[in-house]
Structures are given as C-alpha cells and as structure tokens.
C-alpha cells in the first residue's frame, strides 16, 4: 500500500527524485508474479463495483487486468461472456473509472479474461487439472481455491484446494 501511494506521488511529481527511485524499484521486478504478489495488500473497494460486478462471480479486483481490458469489458456488458450484464450508463461509467484507475500497470495486454492472461496461466499451471473438477467447475471460480477472493485476496499462503489439501 505505501509503495503504490509513493508510486502515485511519483507520477504526479516526476522531478521528485526519491519518488522516481521508488517508481524504478517498482518497475524492475516486472515479472507478473512479483507485481501481483499479494502479501497482505488491501484491495481498493467501490460499493457500486462490488454490487454490480460481484453478483455472478466474485468481483475480480481491478489490479488483475490492465486498463484496456476493463474498457473493452465495460463496452460490451450486454454480451458479457454469453451473459447479459448490461448496466444503466451512468452507473457503468462510474465503475469503469474505478476499474481503470486501479488497473494493472505496465501491460500491453488487452485480454478479456484474467484466466487468459500469461501471468494467470503461469501461476496456475500446477493446478490447471483441478479447474474442470466438480468442486471448482471452472478457472474463473477463484473462490473455490482462494477463500478470501471476495476480499480481493489471492495470497499464496491463503489457498485452500478443494478436497482439503491446504497449501
């Protein structure tokens, strides 16, 4: 959390040297796992987002996809992965602003699916065989293995695989 705040400050005042140093430190370990390492980070929240984007699946935290992905998703809600998730335009605009402001940085990807991104596949290659099991159903059912998914937490120490195998 402190890291991302200084990052914002760094963006606002590019001449500020300590800020630049922190920004550089953030940019170097750009390996996806490091960017996403969850270590106790609190997810930003927004009530409209939680309500509207958390009803059919867990509300996937904004940091899991880049801004371009969120824009594409928000522009096609009426045919959202074969579901109608359409929203009243004013409400959709507010949610889009929240998603874009907190989106994943430093990515040229615009995948529509978190489960289709490179980092997701790499993090999950060991458990990919479980995705289609009866207890999980599908990779997008994050909560089946990440009990704190509703809180936006995917920390590797909090994983509970279906069948009771704690990790």
Partner 1 sequence: MNKILALLAAALALGGLPALAADPLADITVAANAVPGFAGFSAERGARFFRTPGGSWSCSTCHSDDPRRAGRHAVTGKPIEPMAPAVNPRRLTDPARVEKWFRRNCKDVLSRECTAQEKGDVITYLRSMGR
List interacting residues with partner 1 (CB under 8 A).
Answer: 56-58, 81-86, 136-138, 140-141, 143-144
Residue 127 near which of partner 1, ligand HEC, none (CB within 5-8 Å, type-dependent)? ligand HEC
100 binding ligand HEC? (CB under 6 A): no
Cα distances (angstroms) measured from residue 29 to each of 18, 38, 122, 144: 18, 14, 16, 29
d(Cα 113, Cα 126) in Å, to the nearest integer?
Answer: 19
CB of 43 vs partner 1, minimal distance in Å: 18
Q: Give the nearer residue to ligand HEC in terms of CB position, either 18 or 116.
A: 116
Longest CA span, the chain: 54
Residues listed for the chain = 167
- Selected from 28, 90, 126, 163, the binder of ligand HEC by CB under 6 A is 126
d(Cα 15, Cα 27) in Å, to the nearest integer?
Answer: 17
115 binding ligand HEC? (CB under 6 A): yes
């Amino acid at each position: 959390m402190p890291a991302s705040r200084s990052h914002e400050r760094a963006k606002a005042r590019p001449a500020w040297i300590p800020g630049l140093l922190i920004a550089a430190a953030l940019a170097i370990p750009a390996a996806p796992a490091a960017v996403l390492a969850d270590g106790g980070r609190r997810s930003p929240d927004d009530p409209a987002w939680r309500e509207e984007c958390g009803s059919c699946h867990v509300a996937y935290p904004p940091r899991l996809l880049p801004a371009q992905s969120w824009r594409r998703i928000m522009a096609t809600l009426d045919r959202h992965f074969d579901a109608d998730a359409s929203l009243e335009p004013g409400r959709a605009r507010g949610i889009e602003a929240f998603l874009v402001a907190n989106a994943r940085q430093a990515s040229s990807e615009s995948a529509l699916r978190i489960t289709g991104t490179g980092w997701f596949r790499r993090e999950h290659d060991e458990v990919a065989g479980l995705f289609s099991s009866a207890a999980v159903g599908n990779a997008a059912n994050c909560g089946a293995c990440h009990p704190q998914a509703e809180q936006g937490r995917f920390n590797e120490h909090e994983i509970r695989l279906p069948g009771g195998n704690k990790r």
